[in-house]
Amino acid sequence: MSDTAQRDELKRLAAEQAVDLVRPGMVVGLGVGSTAIHAIRRIGALLASGDLHDIVGVPCALRVEEEARRLGIPLTTLEDPAQIDLTIDGADEVDPQLNLIKGGGAALLREKIVAQSSLREVIIVDEAKLSPQLGTRFFVPVEVVPFGWSAQARWITTLGAEVRLRRQADGAPLITDQGNYLLDCHFGPINDLETLAVQLSVRAGVVEHGLFLGMATDLIVAGADGIRHIQK
């Protein structure tokens, strides 16, 4: 088995362990990414076999919604349930305190709304996503309105980042599900996460940022030595 195939198999096993936490009657947040998709497919398979029933999902992206419908997973929105019982999602980088960087899949706004509405936020990653300090291995995605986006990019540069507008393969700006742009902000290791999060949050034109601080309750890691489940 190739290294890529082995990593994917470990992701699948980690996703299955996360799905084991799902119980009948739950509202389940459905996350985005190459690891989270394994969880969605597992939920669909369990529903089809009758081993899981009476759950509804809240998708974090339009493409996740499409896949969930294809798999026969009943869906709802945040306008209906008061809260989400459990969300299963991935991350781009995770520090020892279970703080996260998310947004590599261009769905950070919906992912954060769902995370903040969840009683339990279960993050599944492969061990390559673990980091001693956020910003070491991944940039911070920042979602901005298209109007004045270059002004936001220049301002974020003054905070110490190298900023790039995320583009599609044809060179056009990538458009999020909410019709916004994404700025990929390379800060390097971030010493003060809370201060940076506040600075980004209060800036007009910034819709949301990819720092998910204090939201994860569980981390399931797929690694060479197997699957680890870490609880906060």
| Residue 62 CA from chain centroid, whole number | 14
At residue 80, the pLDDT reads 76
Task: Examine the domain organization and report whether 83 and 159 are in the same domain.
Answer: no
Same domain, 70 and 16: yes
The pLDDT, as a whole number, for residue 225 is: 83
Same domain, 103 and 32: yes
Q: Tell me the pLDDT tens digit for each residue of 125-164.
A: 989 999 999 999 999 999 999 999 999 999 999 999 999 9
Give this prediction's pTM: 0.94
CA dist., res. 69 & res. 65, Å (int): 6
Under the banding of pLDDT at 50, 70 and 90, the label for residue 205 is very high
- List, in order, residues 6 or more apart from 154 with CB less than 8 Å away: none
pLDDT the model gives residue 113: 97
- Quick one: pLDDT at residue 82? 66
| Rounded CA separation 35/99 (Å) | 18
Burial of 110 (0-12, 13-18, 19+ CB in 10 A): buried
pLDDT tens digits, one per residue of 104-135? 999 999 999 999 999 999 999 989 999 999 99
In this structure, are 55 and 33 located in the same domain? Answer: yes
Indicate if 152 and 80 belong to the same structural domain: no
Identify whether residues 105 and 147 lie together within a single domain.
Answer: no
Strand locations in the chain, DSSP E? 27-30, 56-59, 86-89, 93-94, 100-101, 121-126, 140-144, 162-165, 181-186, 206-209, 211-212, 218-223, 226-231
- pLDDT given for residue 137 in this prediction: 97
Contact call for residues 184 and 174 (beta carbons, < 8 A):
no
Between CA 183 and CA 165 the distance in angstroms is: 5
Of 94, 128, 108, whose CA–CA distance to 208 is shortest? 108
Position 37, amino acid: I
Could you tell me if residue 232 is inside a domain?
A: no
Q: Number of folded domains in the chain?
A: 2
**Which tens digits make up the pLDDT trace of 22-54?**
999 999 999 998 889 999 999 999 999 999 999
CATH assignment at residue 109: 3.40.50.1360
Instruction: Mark whether 68 and 106 lie in a shared domain.
Output: yes
Report yes or no on 32 lying in a domain. Answer: yes
Show the CA angle centred on residue 162, arms to residues 158 and 164, nearest 5°.
Answer: 115
Contact (CB, 8 A) for 17 and 230? no
Q: What is the CATH number of the domain that holds 180?
A: 3.30.70.260
Is the Cβ–Cβ distance between 161 and 140 less than 8 Å?
yes
Question: What's the rounded Cα separation, in Å, for the pair 216 and 99?
Answer: 7
CA 202 to chain centre: 22
Establish if 167 belongs to a structural domain.
yes
32 lies in the same domain as 110 = yes
Segment 191-199 mean pLDDT: 98
- Does 104 share its domain with 9? yes
3-class DSSP state for residue 172?
Answer: coil
171 within a domain of the structure (yes/no): yes
User: Are residues 178 and 200 both part of a single domain?
Assistant: yes
Q: Quickly state the pLDDT bin for 81 (edges 50, 70, 90).
A: low
- Strands 226-231 and 218-223, by their bridges, are antiparallel
60 and 156, same domain (yes or no): no
Which residues are known catalytic residues?
A: 111
Tell me phi and psi for residue 163, to 5 degrees: -115, 135
pLDDT band, very low/low/confident/very high, at 223 (cuts 50, 70, 90): confident
